């Protein structure tokens, strides 16, 4: 032992602190794999988080490195005691750092949206033949929604007009982005009053980067305006285009039964995981794995078949659209490789840990990057060209078959799968609650007004090794549904709850009496998964519909709704949070919040924005407190709408009926 320590010192190896697996995740499959990783001597982000103390100054955004007179560090414990060399105050520094997070997050979503739009243009022009317009109804609906004539016109002409219109979302320099006309008029009025209606995403991101340069915008209030404008160019712009175009090309989701969790991997099949965000790669590899020639190759190699499984957001889209099994969320991407059962993993953009390369190498998994924006040292790059996508995807499949043939290490797959219903697009929520003949949000609004449903909460976002993986999501949602709050979800949060069994319609019994009644009448689970992170735009559209249908106020800020990202980690989450706040939604984040309390900038985000007609931010790492904050906000809105009394009466009636039934 002494010798070992001496040797480590000599080699400058600092021994890693060992994690207690049960403390870092509530996902049993991930836990099982982390234990195996420890036995195998393989390190994951969970280990690195335990061994890397988060920088306290950075965590509070009290440092600035925007020029070489710095970097300047202020004191988070006494934030007004010092300013940067240029004189920048703590509020300027925090607002600039926050703005750059919004800018980067919004850029990620809008660049993804723009890629989708590029593919769409090439499909319409006939230059891309591997994808087609699958959902013509949706094409016409989206076109009509932004004023394009569809009656008696050729599909190709409508589609080309739609492309040209939506391109404005990105490139327009003056005016309002096309989907601004989906925003409830009063909400839009608030935006106009404060000068935050997005012109075009490129312009907003560029301006925000400019303003946060040294010596430009040095008023936290003015910086925050541009944060809102940029974030709105994401939510009602880049992300919304990504969602709508993906639906048009690949089909609008409708409820589908599907399995999640690592048990979706099959020991005797060639396992391929696709992890990332743009659905193109996944759609094409779905074709590849069904190609008889490749299937034959797989059986020749001794496999029973080829098993295609998703992870993270493109996984969530494929789960929603096609019922493709999903192996887990962001914090399980390394752990899943520890099974030894993954023959190939293909990744595109966003949330791809560089650490995957090393874990893949340890287990002989072939890791492929496929997008020109994302290469990883140690991974093979097989670029996806949407004009000839099968070149890339067939290669991944072939390499996976090859690895299957040469599997050397023992395979251990956690025997856990969770069946559930996914794929609730905002369109489907119409049919589900309203029926085919009177499809609308009216029944949802009625159920909110009569109090069966207390309000709606969007619980979304990442997982993060700084908190117990999945646990915060699950505890929060449990508490919300118990209090009759209908939960809609996207991204890694949706997968966390699916693994915990909440996506079965039978999970309705976990809801409060009112919500339970509605779920049982419709046959739906108490949590509705609407897809990937860009699909948060579906939640915005649902909010706009709730306002349009009436009875719940005149703007999104009036609705009894709230949002949360309890285990967030990415800059995209900050952009999403800011566009929900700017749209009028109270949005609570967990883990940590990247600014200092009791500062002017903090007060602006957490209090004053609401007085200006927007929503506001909230923060707590505790899921139960988070639920209480959200429910209190929902109740406050119900009271303002004058529907708080009706709710109590209905609840009493329901309780009484239950008692009678039980007697």
- Binding-site ranges for ligand SF4 (CB under 6 A): 64-67, 69-72, 84-86, 88, 93, 214
Query: How many binding residues for ligand BF8 (CB under 6 A)?
Result: 15
Q: What is the largest CA-CA distance in the chain?
A: 84
User: Going edge to edge, which strands form the sheet with 586-589?
Assistant: 527-529, 485-489, 455-459, 561-565, 586-589, 617-619
Bridge partners, residue 298, by sequence: none
570 binds ligand BF8 (CB under 6 A): yes
Tokens of 73: 């560090």
Q: Which stretch binds ligand BF8 (CB under 6 A): 34-42, 92-100, 567-575, 638-646?
A: 567-575
At residue 181's C-alpha, the angle toward residues 554 and 572, to 5°, is 90
Query: 374: which strand partners?
Result: 371
Specify the residue, 337 or 462, whose C-beta has the smaller distance to ligand BF8: 462
Catalogue the E-assigned strands of 319-395: 326-328, 344-347, 366-369, 380-381
Residue 612 near which of ligand BF8, ligand SF4, none (CB within 5-8 Å, type-dependent): none
Q: Tell me which of ligand BF8, ligand SF4, none is bound by residue 85, counting a contact when its beta carbon lies within the kind-specific cut-off of 5 to 8 angstroms.
A: ligand SF4
Asked whether the CA dihedral 142, 146, 148, 152 is positive or negative, the reply is positive
Compute the least distance from the CB of residue 56 to ligand SF4, in Å. Answer: 18
Burial class (CB in 10 A: 0-12, 13-18, 19+), 520: middle
Work out how close the CB of 330 gets to ligand BF8 at its nearest, in angstroms, rounded to a whole number. Answer: 4
DSSP, res 238: I
Tokens representing 413 are: 């797959």
Q: Decide if 391 contacts 385 (C-beta within 8 A).
A: yes
The rounded distance, in Å, linking the Cα atoms of 344 and 365 is 5
Q: Is 572 in the site for ligand BF8 (CB under 6 A)?
A: yes
> Between 197 and 312, whose beta carbon lies closer to ligand BF8?
312
* Residues 179/211, Cβ–Cβ less than 8 Å: no
Q: Which of ligand BF8, ligand SF4, none interacts with 237 (beta carbon under 5 to 8 A by kind)?
A: none
Q: Which is nearer to ligand BF8, 27 or 88 (CB)?
A: 27
Identify what 570 binds: ligand SF4, ligand BF8, none; CB under 5 to 8 Å per kind: ligand BF8
Q: For residue 330, state whether it binds ligand BF8 (rule: CB under 6 A).
A: yes
The answer to whether 410 and 340 are in contact (CB under 8 A) is: yes
Minimum distance between the CB of residue 102 and ligand BF8, rounded to whole angstroms?
14
351 binds ligand BF8 (CB under 6 A): yes
Q: Does 199 bind ligand BF8 (CB under 6 A)?
A: no
Query: What is the smallest separation between the CB atom of 265 and ligand BF8, expressed in angstroms?
Result: 19
Smaller CB distance to ligand BF8: residue 310 or 525?
A: 310
Nearer CB in complex with ligand BF8: 190/570: 570
If one asks whether residue 557 binds ligand BF8 (CB under 6 A), the answer comes out as no
- Does 533 contact ligand BF8 by CB under 6 A? yes
Could you tell me if 351 and 357 are in contact, meaning their C-beta atoms sit under 8 angstroms apart? no
Q: Give Cα 542 to chain centroid, integer Å.
A: 16
Say if residues 634 and 485 touch (Cβ distance below 8 Å): yes
Which one of ligand BF8, ligand SF4, none interacts with residue 65, CB within 5 to 8 A by kind? ligand SF4
Scanning residues 492 to 531, which ones bind ligand BF8 (CB under 6 A)?
492
What's the closest the beta carbon of residue 594 comes to ligand BF8, in angstroms?
Answer: 15
- Collect all residues with Cβ–Cβ distance below 8 Å to 289 and sequence separation of at least 6: 272, 295, 306, 308, 397
Q: Kindly state the smallest distance separating residue 45's Cβ from ligand BF8, in Å.
A: 11
638 belongs to the binding site for ligand BF8 (CB under 6 A) = no
Nearer residue to ligand BF8 within complex by CB, 109 or 322? 109
Piece of 37-45, 570-578, 613-621, 623-631 that binds ligand BF8 (CB under 6 A): 570-578
| Residue 67 interacts with which of ligand BF8, ligand SF4, none, CB < 5 to 8 Å by class | ligand SF4
- Residues 466-495 contacting ligand BF8, CB under 6 A: 491-492
Stretch touching ligand BF8 by CB under 6 A, among 219-227, 357-365, 569-577, 634-642? 569-577
462 binds ligand BF8 (CB under 6 A): yes
Q: Which residue is listed with tokens 């509020």?
A: 91
User: Least distance (Å) from ligand SF4 to the CB of residue 78?
Assistant: 17
The reply to whether 541 sits near ligand BF8 by the rule CB under 6 A is no
312 touching ligand BF8, by CB under 6 A: yes
CA angle, 394 then 246 then 527, to 5°: 110
Is residue 309 at the binding interface for ligand BF8, with CB under 6 A as the rule? no
Give the contacts of 479 (CB within 8 A, at least 6 positions apart).
623, 624, 627, 628
Can you give 182-196 as a three-state secondary structure string? Answer: HCCHHHHHHHHHHCC
Helix 292-300 to helix 389-405 angle (10° resolution) is 10
Residue 443 CA from chain centroid, whole number: 27
- Using the rule CB under 6 A, is 101 a contact of ligand BF8? no
Q: Rule CB under 6 A: say whether 27 interacts with ligand BF8.
A: no
397 binds, among ligand SF4, ligand BF8, none (CB under 5 to 8 A by kind): none
Distances (CA, A) of 580 to 412, 532, 546, 563: 42, 16, 15, 8
Tell me the two tokens of residue 45. Answer: 């982000």
461 interface partner picked from ligand SF4, ligand BF8, none, CB below 5 to 8 A per type: ligand BF8
Q: Can you say whether the dihedral through the CA atoms of 22, 25, 26, 31 is positive or negative?
A: negative
CA distance 37 to 334: 10
* Residue 39 touches which of ligand SF4, ligand BF8, none (Cβ within 5-8 Å per kind): none
505 in helix, strand or coil?
helix
Instruction: Give the C-alpha separation, 308 to 258, whole Å.
Output: 13
CB nearer ligand SF4, residue 59 or residue 188: 59
For the packed helices 513-522 and 644-662, what is the interaxial angle rounded to 10 degrees? 80
Q: In the set 325, 346, 455, 461, which binds ligand BF8 (CB under 6 A)?
A: 461
User: Tokens at residue 565, please?
Assistant: 């990202």
Question: Which of ligand BF8, ligand SF4, none binds 312 (CB below 5-8 Å, type-dependent)?
Answer: ligand BF8
Residue whose CB is less far from ligand BF8, 424 or 441: 424
Q: Residues 178, 198: contact at Cβ < 8 Å? A: no
Which positions lie near ligand BF8, rule CB under 6 A? 277, 312-313, 329-330, 350-351, 461-462, 491-492, 533, 570, 572-573
């Amino acid at each position: 032992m002494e010798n070992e320590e001496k040797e480590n010192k000599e080699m400058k190896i600092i021994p890693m602190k060992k994690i207690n697996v049960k403390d870092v995740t509530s996902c049993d499959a991930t836990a099982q794999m982390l234990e195996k990783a420890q036995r195998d001597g393989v390190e994951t982000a969970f280990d690195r988080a335990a061994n890397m103390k988060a920088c306290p100054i950075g965590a509070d955004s009290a440092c600035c490195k925007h020029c070489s007179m710095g970097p300047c560090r202020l004191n988070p414990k006494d934030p007004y005691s010092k300013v940067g060399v240029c004189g920048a105050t703590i509020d300027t520094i925090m607002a600039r750092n926050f703005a750059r997070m919004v800018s980067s997050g919004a850029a990620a979503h809008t660049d993804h949206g723009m890629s989708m739009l590029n593919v769409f243009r090439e499909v319409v022009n006939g230059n891309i033949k591997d994808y087609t317009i699958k959902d013509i109804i949706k094409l016409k609906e989206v076109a009509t929604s932004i004023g394009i004539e569809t009656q008696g016109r050729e599909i190709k002409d409508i589609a080309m007009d739609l492309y040209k219109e939506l391109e404005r979302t990105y490139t327009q320099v003056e005016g309002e982005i096309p989907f601004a006309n989906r925003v409830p008029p009063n909400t839009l009025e608030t935006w106009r009053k404060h000068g935050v209606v997005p012109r075009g995403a490129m312009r907003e991101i560029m301006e925000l980067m400019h303003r946060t340069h040294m010596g430009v915008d040095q008023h936290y209030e003015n910086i925050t305006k541009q944060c809102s404008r940029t974030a709105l160019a994401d939510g009602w712009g880049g992300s919304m285009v990504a969602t709508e175009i993906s639906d048009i090309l690949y089909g609008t989701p409708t409820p589908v039964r599907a399995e999640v969790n690592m048990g979706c991997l099959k020991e005797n099949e060639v396992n391929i995981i696709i992890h990332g965000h743009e659905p193109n790669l996944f759609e094409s590899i779905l074709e590849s794995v069904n190609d008889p020639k490749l299937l034959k190759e797989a059986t020749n190699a001794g496999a029973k078949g080829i098993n295609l499984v998703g992870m993270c957001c493109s996984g969530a889209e494929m789960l929603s659209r096609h019922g493709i099994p999903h192996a887990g969320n962001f914090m399980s991407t390394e752990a899943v490789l520890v099974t030894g059962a993954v023959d190939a993993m293909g990744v595109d953009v966003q949330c791809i840990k560089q650490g995957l390369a090393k874990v893949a190498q340890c287990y002989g998994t072939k890791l492929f990057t496929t997008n020109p924006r994302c290469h990883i040292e140690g991974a093979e790059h097989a670029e996806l060209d949407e004009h000839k996508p099968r070149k890339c995807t067939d290669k991944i499949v072939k390499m996976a078959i090859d690895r299957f043939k040469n599997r050397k290490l023992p395979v251990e797959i956690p025997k856990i799968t969770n069946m559930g219903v996914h794929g609730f697009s905002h369109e489907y929520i119409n049919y589900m609650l309203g029926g085919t003949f009177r499809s609308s949000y009216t029944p949802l609004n009625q159920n909110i007004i009569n109090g069966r449903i207390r309000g709606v909460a969007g619980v979304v976002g990442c997982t993060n090794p700084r908190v117990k993986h999945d646990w915060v999501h699950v505890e929060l949602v449990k508490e919300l549904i118990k209090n009759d709050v209908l939960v809609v979800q996207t991204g890694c949060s949706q997968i966390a709850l699916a693994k915990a069994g909440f996506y079965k319609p039978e999970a309705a019994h976990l809801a409060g009496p009112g919500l339970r009644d509605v779920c049982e009448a419709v046959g739906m689970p108490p949590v509705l998964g609407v897809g990937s992170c860009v699909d948060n735009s579906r939640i915005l559209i649902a909010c706009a519909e709730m306002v349009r249908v009436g009875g719940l106020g005149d703007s999104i800020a009036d609705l009894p709704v709230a949002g949360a990202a309890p285990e967030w980690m990415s800059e995209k989450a900050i952009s999403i949070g800011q566009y929900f706040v700017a749209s009028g939604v109270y949005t609570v984040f967990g883990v940590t919040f990247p600014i200092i309390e009791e500062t002017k900038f903090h007060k602006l985000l957490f209090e004053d924005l609401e007085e200006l007609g927007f929503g506001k931010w909230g923060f707590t790492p505790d899921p139960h407190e988070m639920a209480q904050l959200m429910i209190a906000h929902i109740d406050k809105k119900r009271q303002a709408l004058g529907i708080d009394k009706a709710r109590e009466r209905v609840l009493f009636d329901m309780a009484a009926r239950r008692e009678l039934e039980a007697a």
